[in-house]
Each structure stands twice: as structure tokens, then as C-alpha cells.
Amino acid sequence: MKLAGSAVLGIDRDRVWSALHDPAVLVRTIPGCERLEETGPDTYRMTVTAGVASIKGVYQGEVSLAEPEAPQRFVLRARGQGAPGTVDATVEVRLSEVEDGTRVDYDAEAVVGGMIGGVGQRMLTSVAKRTAGEFFTAVEKHLVSGDVSGGALPGETPVPAAPVPGTRTPAGAAPGEPVTTTGHAAPGGPEYATLGGPAATVPAAVTGPVATRPAGAAQVFERPAPPPKTGVPPWSLLAAFGMGAGIALGSAVIGWLLGRTRRR
């Protein structure tokens, strides 16, 4: 299956390029993407929920960004498999400057197998174009919000970084807040990070002189949980129903008593 399309984003090209190469942004903007796990330079293991019509499921696969010519062109290769079938795609992405911002052109070639491969090509093409449109719209909204570092999208609640087990947070620093550490020991105690002095900026939770991600540890990016839906709590509906039923029953009893009194 071959697919071509384009989109215009009201953002300058350098920022669009950076966003399309930032896994923290991609995991929030790719429709159905739940998780990206770094497996190598510009290569990620991906978990996506997707489908066509009633054929939906979870795909596990890999995506890589290759042949970069910043900020003009790169190639995205993706393959995945799940209960609905298999997908193997290669997408050439080109960025060009236009008056309104950045034009993104893409040419994709995909091989689809399994149950999802039995769906007509016209429907597959329609769904693919809609998904691409949703992706570019989400990227633009993310950049317009002023956050290109993987922060929460509008309406999402940012999740602070969790302290590393067995670490201490300096007084006055919130968990996940960057602090500057020189690696000196606090007087009369174990080694803590101290503020001030030329040093690297690391998360507030530190262990030893400098806290770093363990060598070889995969970096994982996950889509934040959606904000809780606002609405009428169930207990209030039950209370209202009970109150209404009580009033109706009380009125019936009073009416019965008054009628009985008059007959007497």
C-alpha cells in the first residue's frame, strides 16, 4: 500500500524537526501510542493501540529514524505485529519552509498482513490519512503550547520524576526539580548534593556525588494518563434519587392519613 500526503504547521521548521525527533513528544502525539523504549540511537521499541473498523488491538514493534538531513528530510521505518495482523512501513518525511510555517510532505509504503490486511485498500488509506492528520495536529498543538521538552499537553497533569530508590532530596527541593551539585559531603553526615559552585545540573534526588542514569539502562517514554473526567459524582445521583423517592412516599402517606381523618 502506498500513501502520500502533506500538512502545514504554523511553526518554524527547526522546532518541527526537533519535535519529530523527540520521543517524549512523539509518545504524546502519535495516535494510540502508549510507550516508547529506547533501544539504540534514534531507535525505539513501541507499543501502539490501533486498528481499522472493528479490527483493533495492541501492536508491539520497533520504529527508527534514519538518514537524517537536518532540518530537511529523514526516513522513518516501523514494523509491528499484534492480534489484528502485521505492519511493515517506510516513510520518507520532508520539511520545507513556507510563509505560514512549515510544510511537511510524506511518502509512505507499507505492507499489511493478517486480518487487517483483508480490509479494503480504500478504507486502509482513509484511516491512514486521518491518523496522519491527527498526528500533525497534535504536534502543532504541542508546540503552540510552548513545550518542546516533552511536558504535558494542555489538559494533562505533568507527572514529576520519581526519586531514585535509596536517594535523598536536598531540603527545599521538590522531587524531580533540577539542582546544581558539587558532590561535597554535608558536615557530619553522608554525602549529599550541595548547592552552588560549578557543576552539572541533575535531578534533585541524588545518590553519592552525582546522580546519573545507570549505564546501559533503557530510557522509557510513556503517554501520561488522561485527566479524570469531570461530572456528577454517582453518590449525588443516588442521594437525589433517594430524596425524591422519600418526598413522594411521604406525600402519599400524608394524603392517605388526611383522607382517613376526613372519613371519620
Residue pLDDT, tens place only, 208-259: 443 345 556 679 988 887 665 555 454 444 444 455 555 555 666 566 555 6
Q: What is the pLDDT of residue 56?
A: 80
Burial class of residue 82, CB neighbours in 10 A (0-12, 13-18, 19+): buried
Condensed to tens digits (0 to 9), the pLDDT of residues 187-199 reads 444 433 333 344 4
Q: How far apart are CA 123 and CA 105, in angstroms?
A: 21
- Radius of gyration of the chain from its Cα atoms, rounded to whole angstroms: 28
d(CA 224, CA 161): 12
Task: Please say if the pLDDT value at position 153 is more than 80.
Answer: no
- Sheet-wide strand order for 101-113: 2-9, 101-113, 85-98, 73-82, 55-69, 43-52, 33-40, 220-222
Cross-strand pairs, 59: 48, 82
Q: Which residues are within 8 A (CB) of 215 and not within 5 positions of it... i.e. 6 or more apart? A: none
In degrees and rounded to multiples of 5, residue 93 shows phi and psi of: -115, 130
Say if residues 205 and 219 touch (Cβ distance below 8 Å): no
Neighbouring C-alpha atoms within 13 Å toward the C-beta of 72: 1
Cα separation, 138 vs 14, whole angstroms: 17
Handedness of CA 37, 39, 42, 48 (dihedral sign): negative
Mean pLDDT in residue range 24-43? 93
Inter-residue long-range contacts of 27-30, CB under 8 Å, 24+ positions, other chains counted: 27/221, 27/222, 27/223, 28/138, 28/142, 28/150, 28/152, 28/153, 28/156, 28/223, 28/224, 29/135, 29/138, 29/139, 29/142, 30/135
Neighbouring C-beta atoms of residue 248, cutoff 10 Å: 10
Pick the range with the lowest mean pLDDT from 61-65, 130-134, 150-154, 227-231.
Answer: 150-154
State the Cα–Cα distance between residues 59 and 86, nearest whole angstrom.
8
If one compares 123 and 51, the residue with the highest pLDDT of the two is 123
- Helix ranges, 166-228 (H): none
The predicted pLDDT at position 195 comes to 37
Q: Residue 82 in 3-state DSSP? A: strand
Q: Give CA 110 to chain center in angstroms.
A: 24
Between CA 23 and CA 220 the distance in angstroms is: 9
Residue 115 is predicted with a pLDDT of 83
**Mean pLDDT across the stretch 109-122?**
82
